[in-house]
Amino acid sequence: MASTNDNSDDGGITDSPKKGPTLSTSTSSFEALDPHDPNLSKLATTMFEKTSDYLIGELTLSQEDYTLLESMNKATATKYADMKQISQNIGKSLNELNKKYESLRPMLEQIDQIEDSVNKLEQAAYKLDNYSKRLEAKFKGLEKR
């Protein structure tokens, strides 16, 4: 096993000259006025930088998610506003068409009455045509005698 000052097996971590191994779980081993291990300071700085980078990345990701949601909400709100405008225009057009239909209703009823009269006249014309054909046939039959 390596000695406490040999750092070949432990990945470059050395023992602190005053407090022992630098990977101590104790948080009270650092005092502000005590000289501290530069290797421990370097490792702590690296850890805080990487933790900072990680947290910044997480916060940036959350911020981008919220930005995306905001833009999606704005797009949806715009689409609903457009649909509302379209439905209002359709409603106005429908009301105008209903008013035009109501104004044309008497004329349409007259057209229906005229159509009924024309149908009756047509039936009367067919009856008259049939009657005239029978009469002509009788006349020809009397003429031949």
pTM of the predicted structure, to 2 decimals: 0.47
Please tell me which residue, 19 or 86, carries the higher pLDDT value.
86
Q: Distance between CA atoms of 75 and 81, rounded to whole angstroms?
A: 10
Of 5-19, 63-77, 92-106, least confident by mean pLDDT is 5-19
- DSSP state at residue 15: E
Query: What count of residues does the chain have?
Result: 145
In tens, the pLDDT along 2-39 reads 444 444 444 455 554 555 555 555 555 555 555 678 88
β-partners of residue 20 are: 16
β-partners of residue 16 are: 20
**Which residues make Cβ contacts (< 8 Å) with residue 39, sequence separation at least 6?**
12, 13, 14, 22
Closest C-alpha to 17, from 26, 7, 4: 4
Is pLDDT above 60 for 87? yes
Contact present, 36 and 44 (Cβ < 8 Å): no
